[in-house]
């Protein structure tokens, strides 16, 4: 725990917000009406605080100074304990401070509001809400609008005193230190000095000492290592407790369902609610009591110049909470593992470059005497003419870069890599669970993280068979549950159908415009250009434009469906935040899976597979002829599709994540930048930043998991995909860090022991990727037909591939073309009329014209099909056996972590036993003594009564 600043003073606010006769009082009493109680004796803090707080709670709405019973009994003047706010000079207080005006009580949360036309109703809500916050024990202080930069915004500052912190730390089962960790760390890894350039300073990597921790118990305060109550709970824990109270605090006397800061934000009663950053990001705070952890995060983590450095995960967790810490730990680990896949993929690509000379079939395509003499059948009806095979020379060479022997090796490697990634992440996650006190967190926190939206709809209690306690439940009839379920998934199916319809539309576009491109580009000037003339073909133009249109459709549908998914998930009224996010995750990923990957699936598994043959073409909707693959195969088109969608999404995502928040913040704070820095307060600076939504991390995970799908599901077609993902993620880590540190308000800290439902989704993708890559190698790539030709049909012993192209193309008699398929004379090239051409070639394995089984699939076709299916079965079994063996071999929890967990549980039992035994001895010794232990009457120390804002916690 961070011990931070030391203070033996505790301040208890004596008077609360006063509202009288509709007059505006700015949320706090002025002058003599607003006073604080300062206790100089730390040992008497709890007893005197209890008495004073109980006295305050009775007179919270009065303007007179209250005097506690102890003061009256001791006949002392209130001025000995009280100091007036009247003498505080606001200009003398640092505007960058995160403390109340007294400089002692920390600002744990800030609410802002503006008075408008509907001010009276909102004022009544605020009055009731703030009164209930005070009943719950929170202390409030308001900044008048005259003190704000814009002259119209009020800022309500909230402080949570020790008594409230202790109460809710007990309720929320927060773990705190009770003993210094005595387990000896392992010796330094050999050659660790090589990692020195990547290390960060120790005080940044380990901002807190290492302790054994136990669940906080308010009745056993002296059991824990409490050196200073002001700094015992870090700011992230404090703001989490405050937000828990704010989320459940009612704001209406008449309707108990009207509760929570979320609804008040939605109806405009408050304009913002956020915890404060502890300093400016580019410089340390002027207040010596502020930790300036934001500055440390920016200096050592958020700058892009630190891209090669490790992440200060412990500091991230301490400042932002475990949920955000887990995300960055996963992102960093994923990026680290990507580096290995990127290196192997790069070597596979280099192998394609180095082995260019072995590409005999491409040489044959480009050869004027071979490819230049092969006349190919038209690729579309009417508007496409006959063409020579050597026009696809460039695309054939490009295809070889990704369609070579290394492709099979890389597909198998990625199947094993993804297993290693998931297994090693489980170990890393288990270590973080222990280090961040998240072991057994799910069981303890599941009940404590009920959504306020669920609680407001609960009307009945039911006995929980596990905890044997009464808990609130939402009563729903079977008909209501079935109706919600059907409506929810019917909506999901409808939108997925809409995606499929849009994909069909893009396919129809490809079929419709291919003929147009073929006709337009026949005599295009670009054909005569040396560098790009051979690259810009009708196939290429169709593929690129269709991919771009598909990407735009993906972005539009994605934008619309996000809102639909949130609405239908809200309609289901999930019980906990974890359940809410898991339900939303399933819906969003299912949609995104179809949205982003459907076009790649079409190119990989459908294009060129159902085209028929020249005498009997297949048509889509009976109108458009199905697309054919080039003689070089469809793999290069899959690569093009993958690159456009993957890179386009990453570029667009980075623009959205970085540029949009920066522009918004620049615009909002444009007037404030003209004022002196000393007048721009900490709460105003944070108010002008962008708010981090509750689903902010959800979108970050979604972006990375979609990328994970691209580099695993279709990686056999593009070995450089992991390298592109690696470069993006190196940038992504720093962009996200910069965004969190500089562009967003400080998020409310939240706990999470894992990445949640994303873990199962990653496992699903890992299994599915083995199948997709096996099918890509078998059916999309030409690897299997080439191997069959090499080992079965090639007659020369040298093992080369001469004659493969001629063997892979079938013949068709031109005179047998149907009138609707035959090209127009104007579309045929000049050389077609100058020679006696009777046949054309097409990509398939069929008997030639004149054969007794003409145009029927020959035996080579069935041999290749059998080889394809055999390869799929063999590859899947090999990879799955290795995957399961690796998963069995690598334990999910490191043995060192298991030992530490057992050691901690043992110590908790031992120390608690000794603690209770010691208390019993002291009690027995006191009972045997007649010495008066307390000079104050026992009736004087009334316990503090805090209103716990959730019945499920009682």
In a domain, 906, yes or no: yes
In a domain, 900, yes or no: yes
Look at residue 19 and tell me whether its pLDDT is greater than 60: no
pLDDT per position as a tens digit, 785-804: 888 988 888 766 555 678 88
pLDDT per position as a tens digit, 801-818: 788 888 889 999 998 888
Look at residue 298 and tell me whether its pLDDT is greater than 90: yes
Say how far apart CA 455 and CA 457 lie, in whole Å: 5
Look at residue 942 and tell me whether its pLDDT is greater than 60: no
Average pLDDT over residues 420-431: 93
Average pLDDT over residues 471-499: 80
Label each residue of 116-152 as H, E or C: CCCHHHHHHHHHHHHHHHHHCCCEEEEECHHHCCCCC
pLDDT on residue 16: 31
Percent of the chain with pLDDT over 70: 79
In a domain, 901, yes or no: yes
pLDDT on residue 950: 54
Percent of the chain with pLDDT over 90: 24
Q: How confident is the model at residue 3 (pLDDT cuts 50, 70, 90)?
A: very low
Q: How confident is the model at residue 515 (pLDDT cuts 50, 70, 90)?
A: low
**Maximum average pLDDT range among 24-33, 331-340, 714-723, 878-887:** 331-340
pLDDT on residue 361: 84
pLDDT on residue 522: 56
pLDDT on residue 792: 85
pLDDT per position as a tens digit, 34-92: 333 333 333 333 333 333 333 333 333 333 333 343 333 333 333 333 333 333 444 45
- Centroid of chain to Cα 573: 22
Tokens (6 digits) for 645 = 């969608």
- Centroid of chain to Cα 924: 56
More confident residue, 395 or 95: 395
Lowest model confidence (mean pLDDT) among 193-202, 206-215, 703-712: 193-202
Q: How confident is the model at residue 756 (pLDDT cuts 50, 70, 90)?
A: confident
Beta partners for residue 154, in sequence order: 113
pLDDT on residue 669: 73
pLDDT per position as a tens digit, 195-207: 778 888 888 888 8
More confident residue, 191 or 745: 745
pLDDT on residue 510: 77
In a domain, 898, yes or no: yes
**Maximum average pLDDT range among 209-223, 282-296, 398-412, 725-739:** 725-739
In a domain, 903, yes or no: yes
**302-to-49, 220, 278, 739 alpha-carbon distances in Å:** 42, 40, 16, 8
pLDDT on residue 857: 92
Average pLDDT over residues 462-479: 69
pLDDT on residue 531: 40
Q: How many domains does the chain contain in total?
A: 1
Q: Which of 431, 273, 334 has its CA nearest to residue 730?
A: 334
pLDDT per position as a tens digit, 609-642: 888 888 888 888 777 788 787 656 688 888 888 8
Average pLDDT over residues 345-349: 92
pLDDT on residue 626: 83
State whether residue 451 is helix, strand or coil.
coil
State whether residue 568 is helix, strand or coil.
helix
pLDDT per position as a tens digit, 299-339: 999 998 999 999 999 999 999 999 999 999 999 999 999 99
Average pLDDT over residues 648-652: 82
pLDDT on residue 54: 36
pLDDT per position as a tens digit, 569-590: 888 888 777 788 888 888 888 8
Average pLDDT over residues 337-351: 93
Long-range contacts of 404-407 (CB under 8 A, 24+ apart): 404/351, 404/352, 404/355, 404/359, 405/351, 405/355, 405/783, 406/347, 406/348, 406/351, 406/352, 406/719, 407/348, 407/716, 407/719, 407/777, 407/781, 407/783
Average pLDDT, the chain: 78
pLDDT on residue 154: 92
What range defines the domain where residue 914 resides? 894-924
Lowest model confidence (mean pLDDT) among 314-328, 495-509, 869-883: 495-509
Tokens (6 digits) for 888 = 């069995």
In a domain, 654, yes or no: no
Contacts of 215 (CB under 8 A, 6+ apart): 173, 174, 175, 444
pLDDT per position as a tens digit, 135-144: 999 999 999 8
Average pLDDT over residues 529-541: 56
pTM for the model stands at 0.81
More confident residue, 931 or 52: 931
In a domain, 493, yes or no: no
Look at residue 722 and tell me whether its pLDDT is greater than 90: yes
From start to end of 365-411, where are the E strands?
A: 375-376, 387-388
Ranges of H-type helices in 844-894 = 859-889
Average pLDDT over residues 206-234: 87
pLDDT per position as a tens digit, 897-926: 888 888 888 888 888 888 888 888 888 888
Look at residue 256 and tell me whether its pLDDT is greater than 50: yes
pLDDT per position as a tens digit, 822-870: 888 777 888 887 778 889 999 889 999 989 999 999 999 999 999 999 9
In a domain, 908, yes or no: yes
């Amino acid at each position: 725990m961070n011990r931070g600043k030391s203070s033996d003073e505790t301040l208890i606010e004596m008077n609360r917000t006063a509202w009288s006769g509709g007059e505006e009082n700015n949320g706090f009493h002025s002058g003599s009406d607003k006073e604080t109680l300062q206790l100089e004796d730390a040992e008497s803090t709890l007893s005197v605080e209890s008495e004073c707080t109980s006295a305050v709670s009775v007179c919270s709405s009065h303007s007179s100074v209250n005097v506690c019973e102890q003061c009256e009994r001791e006949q002392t003047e209130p001025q000995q304990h009280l100091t007036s706010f009247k003498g505080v000079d606001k200009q003398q207080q640092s505007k960058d401070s995160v403390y109340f005006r007294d400089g002692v009580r920390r600002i744990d949360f800030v609410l802002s509001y503006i008075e408008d036309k509907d001010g009276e109703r909102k004022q009544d809500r605020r009055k009731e809400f703030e009164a209930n916050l005070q009943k719950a024990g929170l202390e409030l202080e308001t900044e008048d609008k005259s003190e704000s930069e814009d002259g119209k915004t009020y800022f309500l500052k909230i402080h949570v005193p020790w008594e409230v912190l202790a109460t809710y730390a007990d309720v929320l089962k927060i773990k705190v230190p009770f003993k210094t960790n005595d387990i000896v760390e392992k010796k330094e890894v050999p050659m660790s000095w090589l990692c020195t350039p990547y290390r960060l300073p120790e005080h940044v990597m380990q901002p807190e000492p290492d302790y054994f921790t136990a669940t906080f118990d308010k009745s056993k305060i002296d059991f824990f290592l409490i050196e200073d109550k002001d700094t015992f709970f870090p700011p992230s824990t404090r703001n989490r407790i405050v937000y828990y109270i704010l989320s459940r605090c009612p704001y209406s006397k008449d309707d108990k369902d009207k509760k929570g800061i979320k609804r008040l934000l939605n109806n405009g009663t408050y304009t913002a609610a956020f915890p404060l950053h502890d300093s400016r990001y580019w410089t340390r705070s002027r207040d010596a009591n502020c930790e300036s952890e934001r500055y440390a995060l920016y200096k050592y983590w958020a700058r892009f110049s630190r891209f090669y450095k490790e992440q200060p995960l412990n500091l991230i967790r301490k400042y932002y909470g475990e949920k955000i810490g887990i995300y960055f730990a996963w992102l960093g680990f994923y990026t680290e593992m990507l580096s290995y896949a990127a290196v192997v993929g790069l070597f596979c690509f280099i192998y394609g470059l180095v082995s260019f000379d072995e590409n005999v079939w491409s040489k044959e395509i480009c050869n004027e005497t071979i490819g230049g003499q092969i006349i190919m059948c038209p690729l579309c009806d009417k508007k496409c003419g006959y063409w020579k095979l050597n026009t696809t020379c460039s695309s054939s060479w490009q295809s070889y870069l990704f369609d070579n022997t290394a492709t099979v090796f890389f597909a198998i490697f990625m199947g094993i890599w993804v297993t290693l990634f998931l297994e090693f992440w489980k170990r890393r996650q288990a270590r973080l669970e222990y280090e961040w006190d998240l072991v057994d967190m799910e069981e303890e926190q599941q009940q404590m993280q009920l959504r306020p939206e669920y609680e407001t709809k609960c009307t009945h209690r039911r006995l929980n068979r596990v905890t044997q306690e009464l808990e609130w439940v939402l009563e729903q009839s079977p008909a209501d549950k079935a109706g919600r379920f059907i409506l929810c998934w019917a909506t999901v199916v409808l939108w997925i159908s809409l995606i499929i319809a849009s994909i069909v539309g893009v396919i129809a576009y490809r079929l419709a415009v291919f003929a147009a491109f073929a006709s337009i580009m026949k005599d295009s000037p670009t054909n005569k250009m040396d560098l790009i003339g051979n690259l810009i073909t009708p196939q290429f133009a169709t593929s690129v434009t269709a991919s771009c249109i598909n990407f735009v459709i993906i972005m539009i549908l994605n934008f619309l469906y996000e809102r639909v998914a949130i609405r239908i998930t809200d309609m289901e009224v999930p019980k906990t935040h974890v359940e809410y996010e898991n339900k939303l995750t399933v819906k969003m990923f299912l949609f995104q899976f179809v949205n982003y990957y459907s076009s790649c699936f079409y190119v990989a598994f459908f294009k060129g597979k159902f085209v028929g043959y020249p005498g009997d073409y297949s048509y889509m909707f009976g109108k458009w002829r199905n697309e054919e693959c080039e003689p070089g195969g469809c793999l290069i088109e899959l690569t093009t599709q993958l690159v456009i969608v993957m890179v386009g999404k990453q570029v667009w995502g980075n623009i959205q994540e970085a540029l949009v928040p920066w522009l918004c913040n620049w615009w909002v704070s444009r007037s404030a930048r003209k004022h002196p820095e000393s007048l721009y307060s900490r709460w105003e600076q944070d108010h002008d930043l962008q708010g981090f939504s509750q689903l902010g991390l959800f979108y970050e995970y979604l972006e990375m998991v979609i990328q994970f799908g691209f580099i695993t599901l279709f990686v056999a077609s593009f070995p450089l995909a992991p390298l592109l993902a690696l470069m993006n993620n190196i940038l992504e880590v720093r962009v996200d860090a910069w965004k969190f540190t500089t562009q967003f308000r400080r998020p409310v800290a939240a706990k999470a022991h894992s990445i949640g439902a994303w873990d199962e989704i990653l496992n699903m993708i890992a299994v599915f990727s083995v199948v997709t890559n096996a099918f890509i190698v078998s059916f999309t790539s030409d690897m299997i037909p080439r191997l069959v030709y090499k080992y079965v049909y090639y007659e020369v012993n040298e093992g080369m591939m001469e004659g493969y192209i001629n063997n892979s193309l079938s013949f068709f008699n031109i005179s047998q073309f149907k009138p609707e398929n035959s090209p127009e004379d104007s579309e045929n090239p000049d050389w077609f009329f100058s020679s006696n051409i009777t046949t054309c070639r097409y990509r398939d394995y069929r008997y030639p014209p004149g054969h007794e089984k003409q145009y029927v699939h020959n035996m080579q076709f069935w041999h290749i099909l059998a080889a394809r299916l055999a390869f799929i079965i063999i590859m899947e079994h090999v990879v799955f056996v290795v995957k399961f063996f690796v998963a069995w071999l690598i334990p999910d929890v490191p043995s060192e972590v298991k030992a530490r967990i057992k050691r901690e549980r043992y110590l908790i039992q031992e120390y608690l036993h000794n603690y209770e035994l010691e208390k019993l001895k002291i009690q027995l010794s006191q009972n045997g003594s007649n010495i008066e232990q307390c000079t104050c009457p026992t009736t004087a120390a009334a316990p503090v009564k805090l209103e716990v804002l959730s019945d499920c916690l009682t």
